[in-house]
Amino acid sequence: MEHLQCDLKCLSRDILADIMARLDGSTLASAACTCSDLRGIARNQRLWKQLCNSTWPSTALDEAQHLISSSTDGFRRFYADSYPLISNDHKYANNYFPIQPTLISPSNFALFIDVYYREKCITSSVLDGIPMETDFGQDDDTTTGLMSWVLNCPFKVVPSDINDEDIEDGDDGHDFVSLVGKPDDRCNELKEGIRLSWVLLDKKRGKAGNLSSWKPLSVKKIWASNGDYILHFGCIIPVQESLQLPHNFAKCLIVARCNIEEKQGYLRWKEVSMHIEDTSGAYVNGGKSLIILNQALYCSRSNNRHAVEKGYIQFEGRKQEIIRKKKLEETLADWLCISFEVVILLILGYRILPI
C-alpha cells in the first residue's frame, strides 16, 4: 500500500511558521493536529500571543503580560478558554465544577475588557483583581469585617478606569468613533456594530472564560438623558444545587452605557458594570457571586453564538414566568386578606347591630 507523504515537509520550518502565523485560532489548532511538525510549530507561544493581542487588545497592554505569560502555555490556553462563549447546557456543565475553596477572594481574578465598534477597538482595560468600592486598608480586623460585608451584600463590579473622560481626553489611545447609519436608528446601529468582550481569569489556576455574549442582547435609549444608551451583554451560568438558586441557573449581566452626540454622531463610552442575578431577578450576594464566577470558568463552551442568545432568551422566559407566578400569588393573597376582612366586618356588624 502506498504511503501518503506530507508535502509540507518540503518547506523549511521558518516558512511553515510564517504561514501558520497568518491563521486564525481555530485553523491553527486544527493544523496542529495534522502532523508532529506542525504541532511543534503551533506550540510556539509567540503565535498565540499575536492571536490574543489581535483578538483582545487588552492582552497587549503592559499590565497584562505577567498575568497571562506566567504559565508555559499561557497564551494558547487563554485563547482556547476565552474565544468560545459560555454555554448554559446544564447536563454537561456540572461535570466541570471543581471543588470549591473555602474562601474565594476578589483578588484571585483578573479582568480583560475590550469594546469594539465595527471591528475597531474603542477601549481596552486590564484589572488585576476584581475592583471593589471599599478599600480594605491595613488593619486585619477591618479587612475581615469589610470582606464579610462585601460577601453578604449585592455584588457589582464597576471598573473605575472605563469612563467618558478617558475616551474624551484620548488617554486610552483610541480616537472618537463616528457612527454610521441613520440618526433615527441608533439602537439598531449599536446592536449591529458594538461588540464587547469581558474575560475573567483565575490567576492561580490559569483558567479563563468570556462572560460576555459578544453581541448586545438588548439596546435601550434613556429618554430622560441627552443621547445615553444602555446595552446589555452577558451569559447564563449553570450552577450547583448547593447554591440553592431557582432552576440552578444564574445570569451574569454586563451593563454598558454610552453616549451619542446626536448632531455629529460621535460615540463616547461612559461606563460598564457587571453583576449576577438569579431567575427571579434578584441580585446575588458577593459570596455566592464569586463562587458562580469561579464555576463559570469550568462550564461548557460553544462557538455557536446564536445558541448562546437562545439560552439567554430561555432564561428570560423562566424569569418572566417566575415573576408572573409571584404576582399571581400576591394577588391571591391580597384577595384572601380582603375577603377575610369583609367576613370579619359582616360578623361584627351582625353582632353589634340590633336585629
Model pTM above 0.85: no
For residues 260 and 186, the answer to whether their CB atoms sit within 8 Å is yes
CB-facing half-sphere around the CA of 257: CA atoms within 13 A: 15
Looking at residue 137, its pLDDT comes to: 39
Extract the C-alpha cell encoding 134. Answer: 471599599
Q: How confident is the model at residue 171 (pLDDT cuts 50, 70, 90)?
A: very low
Burial letters for 103-138: b for 16+ Cβ neighbours within 10 Å, e otherwise? ebebebbbbbbbbbbeeebbbbbbbeebebeeeeee
User: Contact 269/229 with Cβ under 8 angstroms?
Assistant: no
The amino acid sitting at 231 is L
Sign of the C-alpha dihedral, residues 340, 341, 342, 348? Answer: positive
What would the pLDDT profile of 253-303 be if each residue is shown by its tens digit? 999 988 887 777 788 888 888 889 888 888 888 788 888 898 889 888 888
Is residue 34's pLDDT more than 70? Answer: yes
Give the per-residue pLDDT at 91: 47
Given a contact cutoff of 8 angstroms between Cβ atoms, the answer to whether 75 and 167 are in contact is no
Whether 135 and 183 have beta carbons less than 8 Å apart is answered as no
φ/ψ of residue 239, rounded to 5:
-125, 160
Give the C-alpha distances (Å, rounded to integers) separating 169 from 69, 174, 175, 269: 31, 10, 9, 12
Cell numbers found for residue 230: 444602555
Q: What is the pLDDT of residues 3-32, one digit of tens each?
A: 545 566 677 777 777 777 777 777 777 777
pLDDT, average across residues 65-83: 82
Asked whether the predicted pLDDT for residue 152 surpasses 60, the reply is no
Residue 100 pLDDT more than 70?
A: no
Mean pLDDT of 109-115: 92
- pLDDT tens across 182-216, in order? 667 888 888 889 999 999 999 888 889 999 999 99
What integer pLDDT is reported at residue 200 of this predicted model? 93
CA distances (Å), origin 87, targets 75, 302, 319: 22, 6, 18
> How far is residue 308's CA from residue 314's CA, in Å, rounded to a whole number?
10
